[in-house]
């Protein structure tokens, strides 16, 4: 079954592909690179809303939500290399009041130590006197420019 994929470049529609092979072929011609290098970014792009950057240009890939949801389930059940990753990360309550932050805000900007990507799951281990995994969060934006950070 063909799964249409819309490609945006810097928020403008660039191409409407009939499937991932067509999207990879178009992008390979557009960027003058091997289409084999594009399957993973396209798949992670439409499944987890992860943009693909080439220099200053941002490429975004969309598929119908039902198609993306079905592929997400398939990848996660099979442990596919493009499935979202699961992280265990520490949080020191003496450095940051995570409990208060989760109570007050819908979204928290987190200093990244690793390459978290959209869709990745973070289990947050609270150290200090608590010593427990207390929170589960999903990455909704893998990289935030420091100037965009609202709460420091």
Q: 91 and 61 in one domain?
A: no
| Separation of alpha carbons 8 and 26, rounded Å | 12
Q: Which residues does residue 133 pair with via DSSP β-bridges, in sequence order?
A: 125
Which residues of 63-150 form beta strands (DSSP E)?
Answer: 86-91, 121-126, 132-138
Select the more confidently predicted residue: 83 or 114. Answer: 83
23-27, 102-106, 145-149: which has the minimum mean pLDDT? 145-149
Per-residue confidence band for 66, with pLDDT thresholds at 50, 70 and 90: very high
- The alpha carbon dihedral of 97, 124, 62, 55 has a sign of positive
Q: 71 and 23 in one domain?
A: yes
Residue range of the domain that includes 125: 86-148
Last residue in a domain, options 78, 109, 135: 78
| Phi, psi of 121, deg, nearest 5 | -100, 135
Last residue in a domain, options 61, 78, 95: 78
Identify which of 110, 124, 122, 118 has the alpha carbon closest to the alpha carbon of residue 142: 118
pTM for this entry: 0.68
């Amino acid at each position: 079954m063909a799964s249409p994929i819309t490609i945006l470049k810097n928020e403008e529609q660039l191409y409407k592909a009939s499937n991932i092979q067509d999207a990879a072929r178009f992008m390979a011609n557009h960027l003058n690179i091997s289409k084999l290098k594009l399957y993973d970014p396209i798949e992670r792009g439409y499944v987890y809303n992860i943009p693909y950057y080439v220099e200053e240009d941002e490429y975004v890939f969309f598929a119908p939500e039902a198609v993306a949801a079905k592929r997400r389930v398939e990848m996660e059940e099979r442990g596919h290399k493009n499935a979202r990753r699961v992280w265990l990360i520490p949080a020191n309550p003496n450095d940051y009041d995570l409990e208060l932050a989760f109570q007050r805000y819908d979204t928290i900007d987190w200093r990244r130590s690793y390459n978290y990507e959209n869709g990745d799951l973070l289990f947050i281990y609270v150290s200090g006197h608590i010593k427990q995994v207390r929170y589960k969060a999903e990455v909704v934006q893998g990289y935030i420019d420091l100037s965009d950070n609202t709460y420091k």
